[in-house]
């Protein structure tokens, strides 16, 4: 179902963008004794797909549902992200989270911070005893490489002539940014944009994103008024 609102769609990656840690990577590193790093390296080199990467990572570890819940509850988000959520609500921008990670820990972390009303699309997880079994409900509709292709979701959610802002930090975001009007990038996504000469706004956290919105986005038609810009600045100071 397409989100309702004005003519702006804001898509945000989860691991390492909303959260301070790359939750999935930390999970598999912690419970595999860092054996997962070799698998991730194969994915980064293009030897395996992100779907294969996640399947192999899950095969490496044993973990109970309680252990995974406690691990998820220990994770922190960018403290400025709730202010950004408030900005999107005020401006009636459609905010959606896209992740190539797992729904189980995403739901727990969003609930922890009372952000569970934000829609998200991700891979799903079921438990088979102490084994994790990832499932990929959107794989067949995507690019064939990503477990959960973010470009597919962008194109599916975007309405005609709708401007799209994409905010991310990693290789799983590469598919989507070719379709976005405005890109906020850090870490590996920033390096990719520079290599491919793709225009982007750099950021370290959502304080930077709010600052760019308040400073420049009225020009691009994303922030409606100077009054709303003033509200953005208040959020930054807080």
Encode pLDDT of 87-104 as tens digits.
999 988 999 999 999 999
Domain assignment of residue 114, yes or no: yes
Give the mean pLDDT of the chain.
90
Structural domain includes residue 31: no
Q: Are 167 and 191 in contact (CB under 8 A)?
A: no
> Taking 50 as the threshold, does the pLDDT of residue 218 lie above it?
yes
- Percent of the chain clearing pLDDT 70 (strictly above): 88
Q: pLDDT tens digit string along 178-206? A: 999 999 999 999 999 999 999 999 999 99
- What pLDDT does 215 receive? 83
Residue-level pLDDT at 1: 40
The reply to whether 90 falls in a domain is yes
Contact by Cβ (8 Å): 18, 112: no
Confidence class of residue 3 from pLDDT cuts 50, 70 and 90?
very low
At 229 the three-state DSSP class reads helix
pLDDT-derived band at 18 (thresholds 50, 70, 90) equals very high
pLDDT band, very low/low/confident/very high, at 216 (cuts 50, 70, 90): confident
- Rounded-to-integer distance, Cα 181 and Cα 217, Å: 12
The strand pair at 120-128 and 131-135 is best described as antiparallel
Given this model, what pLDDT does residue 232 score? 45
Residue 67: inside a domain? no
pLDDT value, residue 220: 61
Beta strands in 1-154 (DSSP E): 8-13, 94-102, 120-128, 131-135
pLDDT at position 180 is 96
Residue 147: give its domain's CATH number: 3.40.50.1000
Res 219 pLDDT > 70: no
How confident is the model at residue 5, as a pLDDT?
47
**pTM score:** 0.90
pLDDT of 223 higher than 90: no
Q: Which domain holds residue 149?
A: 8-19+77-122+136-237
- Note whether 29 and 37 are within 8 A (CB): yes
How many domains in the chain? Answer: 1
Neighbours of 191 (CB within 10 A): 12
Let me know if residue 57 belongs to a domain: no
* Tokens, residue 198: 């793709």
Does residue 192 sit within a domain?
yes
Which of 208, 169, 173 lies closest to 185 in space, CA to CA? 169
Among residues 48, 55, 49, 46, which one has the least CA distance to residue 28?
Answer: 55
Q: Which neighbouring-strand residues pair with 102?
A: 123
Residue 15, in any domain of the structure: yes
Q: Which residue has the higher pLDDT, 16 or 144?
A: 16
The residues that bridge with 124 in the sheet, in sequence order, are 135
* Residue 221's pLDDT band (cuts 50, 70, 90): low
Confidence bin at 62 (pLDDT 50/70/90): very high
Q: Residue 1 domain-assigned?
A: no
């Amino acid at each position: 179902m397409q989100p309702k609102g004005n003519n702006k769609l804001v898509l945000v990656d989860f691991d390492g963008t909303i959260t301070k840690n790359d939750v999935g990577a930390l999970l598999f590193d912690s419970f595999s004794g860092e054996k997962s790093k070799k698998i991730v390296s194969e994915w980064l080199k293009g030897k395996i797909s992100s779907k294969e990467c996640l399947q192999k990572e899950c095969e490496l570890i044993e973990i109970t549902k309680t252990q995974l819940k406690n691990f998820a509850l220990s994770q922190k988000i960018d403290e400025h992200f709730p202010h950004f959520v408030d900005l999107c609500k005020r401006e009636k921008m459609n905010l959606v989270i896209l992740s190539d990670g797992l729904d189980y820990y995403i739901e727990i972390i969003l609930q922890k911070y009372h952000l569970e009303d934000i829609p998200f699309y991700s891979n799903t997880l079921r438990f088979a005893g102490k084994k994790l079994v990832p499932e990929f409900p959107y794989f067949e509709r995507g690019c064939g490489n990503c477990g959960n292709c973010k470009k597919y979701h962008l194109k599916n959610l975007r309405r005609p002539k709708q401007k799209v802002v994409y905010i991310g930090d990693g290789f799983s975001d590469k598919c989507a940014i070719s379709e976005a009007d405005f890109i906020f990038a850090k870490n590996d996504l920033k390096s990719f944009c520079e290599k491919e000469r793709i225009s982007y706004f750099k950021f370290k956290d959502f304080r930077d994103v709010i600052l760019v919105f308040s400073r420049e986005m009225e020009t691009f038609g994303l922030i409606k008024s100077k009054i709303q810009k003033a509200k953005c600045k208040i959020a930054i100071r807080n």
